Structure 1
Amino acid sequence: MTHTIKHFSWTMLLFIAACGQREQLVENKPEGFCLSENLRHQLVVDTLHERDITQHVTLTGEVSYNPDHVVQFVSWVEGVTVQTHFSLGDYVKQGQVLATIKSPALNTLLTEKRSLQSRRQLSEREFAAAQSLYQDNIASERDLVEARSTLEMLDAELANIEDNLALFRPNPAQGVFEIRSPSSGYIVEKNINPGMPINDGDNLFTVSGLGEVWVMANVYASDIQFVQQGMEVAIRTLAYPGDVFYGRISALPQVFDSEERVLKARIVIPNDGLKLKPGMSADISVERRSGGTAVALPARAVIFDDNQYFAVVYRGDCDVQLRRISFQTRDDQWYFVQEGLEAGERVVSQNHLLIYERIKR
């Protein structure tokens, strides 16, 4: 009898010690499991509602320039770069000097301009004289027409040279020509450096406005049925993992890209804060609606174990249930429930794994 009492006392002491070492996240009471006060304050509970059944298709893509806001400066003369006044990524204003060059072709053009200006002055005097003689019936109408034609021809040649030189403003004091920015924007491409030779047809730099950009999404053949022009999209980038940029598919061509074998869907979006940079990779999420509705369970609340799906239903601190579920479809945000849950029920979506492990014992 004494031996039995000692054995019972020793067993009770071991049980009490073990209980004292274990954090009381879930209490075991006669009426069922009850959440401890510690865990109760850590729970996040969501109320379930019916939602339109949607499916999110994720596409890869890349941020690109809006071609309507891009200006490439292509040289049509040969020469040598003397100095540059900008770096890649700089913001420049229209008319700002970006570089200076030396070019024999431009010197020749400048000489032709001075020659044409002198010839035009002479032609203008001859035309004025012909007008006067014609009015006095001394010169014929043919002489007047010839004088006018010569003046107009010189005007056209001079205007053509001035248009060409407009991109290369001469600086006689330094004996160079200045390349000025054709528009305001950011330098997104630079192929010119001091001492570098310039050839006819070289793209020296590209200026682009970045207030609005394009996101080109790759649509593979398997996703074509889910993607349509006009669909709203959510865009995420590695550079800004917490930011979501929203837009709409503005164009979806019907011809596959010959190299990548994809359709290039175009999304035009405003670039507030200039966060989106051309060349940046992006993930584009497209939402597809099926037309039906179902109880939507947040994806973060789903537990997958032993090839089955579960959710922790919360009815009260001492009324927590484990529920097996099946679903119609799912995406990265929602599981659309077929059986196991009803609208209005509440599920635990944070720290639910702690409760699950305790209940399933």
Structure 2
Amino acid sequence: MKKYIIPITLMVTLVGCKNKEETKEIPKEPFCLNESFMSKTDVETVHKQVVTEGIHLTGSIESNPDKVIHFVSLVDGVISKTYFSLGDAVTQGQVLAEMYSTNLGALQAELNALNAQIEVAKVELNAREQMFEDKVSSNKELIEAQSNLRVLESEKQKVERHLSLFNASNSKNVFQIKAPTSGIITVKNINSGTTVADKGEPLFSISDLNNVWAMANIYSTDIARIHSGMDVEIKTLSYPDEIFSGKISVISQVLDENAKVLKARIVLSNRNFRLKPGMIADITALKYTDTEKVAVPTSSLVFFDNKNHVLVYKSACDIEIREVSLYTKRNETTYIESGLEENEKIITKNQLLIFEALNN
């Protein structure tokens, strides 16, 4: 039996037709600011300004020691009541405290005794005058009676002045302690029950805060650059967005023993008592030069890839990222060395968002 092997060849023919399509480049649309975003953007024209160097100093706000009154008691006693707190505004003559004192009882007793003696002296004087008219008494005896009355009345006036000086209250049998001037209570050392010693430590201090001092610390490296009359700008943590302006009026000629710095005094008008003694102050002394540079707001700079940039605005669809070199900075102003010309326009608000959009 014959076996036939029939080879079957399966031929798979793959015919690939590959059509090459040309890749068309889609032109990139320019970035444009729409009206909505433009309303949230600020554009400023830059100008040249005289470069003002800022010398940074530390310091604090202090009350003017020439306008601070420290109240010291002239008698011993015990505080029975107080009517004020630290930081209160007080007016001249306002009762601030009351004090029991044995001195009050002694003065009142002396006053009562003098009143009685004066009554007796008046009666005796009347009698002497009558006797002198009747030629029973001599002129010498009359003069003695008159002199005795005058002495007693003088002693009474002295006691009354003491009682008035200590603001004695006959109805309450206490000394009333009154504010000697108007101002702000900056020190308080008494409360109800406090024992007060004659000529001891101040019971309280009242400061006139209509004008305060900013005391700046001048370190050795800055002594040669700081002088009296320099304009200064002062910022505080309490008012970070506000600048208080003043001038250096006096520079101490003796180093502070503890801080090893010279102290510079800046007198500031303190409207509404906004500046409080004890506040920390960030002080910048301004040194003017003859150099002019293009000035931009420091907040308008964009720092990217270790370089500084600004966004130069030409139109809503023509905004350029421009690298700039800095000359120096002072507070909120930066002076440009190169990369930006006077009268060019830059974006100063929301520039970071625009920078990201242009970069992408």
Q: In structure 2, what is the equivalent of residue 308 of structure 1?
A: 307
1:30-179 equivalences in 2 (<5 Å): 33-37=30-34, 38-112=36-110, 164-179=162-177
Distance 1:114 1:269, change over 3 A: farther
Aligned 8 A contact 2:31 2:358 in 1 = no
Report whether the alignment pairs 1:261 with 2:265: no
CA–CA separation in structure 1 for the residues paired with 2:204 and 2:80 = 15
Question: Aligned equivalents of 1:267 and 1:347: distance in 2?
Answer: 36
In structure 1, the partner of 2:291 is 292
Report how far residue 59 of structure 1 moved.
2.3
Residue ranges of structure 2 left out of the alignment (5+ in a row) = 1-15, 133-137
Change over 3 Å in CA distance of 1:216–1:153 after alignment to 2: farther
Q: 1:238 to 1:160 in 2, by over 3 A?
A: farther
Residue 278 of structure 1 and its aligned partner are, at CA, apart by: 1.6
Q: Show the counterpart of 1:197.
A: 195
Q: 1:246, CA displacement in angstroms? A: 2.1
2:347 is the alignment partner of 1:340: no
Output the CA distance in 2 between the equivalents of 1:259 and 1:114: 57
Q: Which secondary structure does the structure 2 equivalent of 1:224 belong to?
A: helix
Letter of the 1:182 counterpart: P
Per-residue deviation, 1:293: 1.1
Contact 1:102 1:175 in 2 (8 A): yes
The superposition leaves residues 112-139 of structure 1 with CA deviations (integer Å, 9 ceiling, x where unpaired) of 566677889969x99xx9xxx9xxxx98
How far residue 50 of structure 1 moved from its aligned partner, in angstroms, is 0.8
Give the match for residue 325 of structure 2. Answer: 326
Gapped regions of structure 1 (runs ≥ 5): 17-26
Q: 1:287 to 1:139 in 2, by over 3 A?
A: same
Tell me the alpha carbon deviations over residues 218-241 of structure 1, each in whole angstroms, 9 at most, x when there is no partner: 222223233322222222222223
C-alpha contact 2:45 2:344 (8 A) present in aligned 1: yes
1:342 is displaced (CA, Å) by 1.3
Q: Supply the AA of the counterpart residue of 2:215.
A: M
Give the number of the structure whose alpha-carbon radius of gyration is greater: 2
Which moved further from structure 2: 239-248 or 75-84? 239-248
- Aligned partners of 1:41 and 1:354: how far apart in 2? 14
**C-alpha distance in 2 between matches for 1:160 and 1:2:** 129
Paired with 1:236 and 1:64, the residues of 2 have a C-alpha distance of 14
Cα separation, 2, equivalents of 1:196 and 1:280: 30
Deviation at 1:83, TM superposition (A): 1.3
TM-score between both structures, scaled by the size of structure 2: 0.77
Q: Are 1:58 and 1:286, in contact at CA under 8 Å, matched by a contact in 2? A: yes
Q: Distance in 1 between matches of 2:115 and 2:28?
A: 103
> Cα gap change, 1:298/1:90 in structure 2, threshold over 3 Å: closer, same or farther?
closer
How many residue pairs align between the two structures?
Answer: 334
- Identity within the alignment, %: 37
Q: TM-score if structure 1 supplies the norm length?
A: 0.77
Aligned to 2:282: 283
- What value does the CA root-mean-square deviation take over the aligned residues? 3.8
Q: 1:2 to 1:287 in 2, by over 3 A?
A: farther
Q: Are the structure 2 counterparts of residues 2 and 115 from structure 1 closer, same or farther at C-alpha, using a change threshold of 3 Å?
A: farther
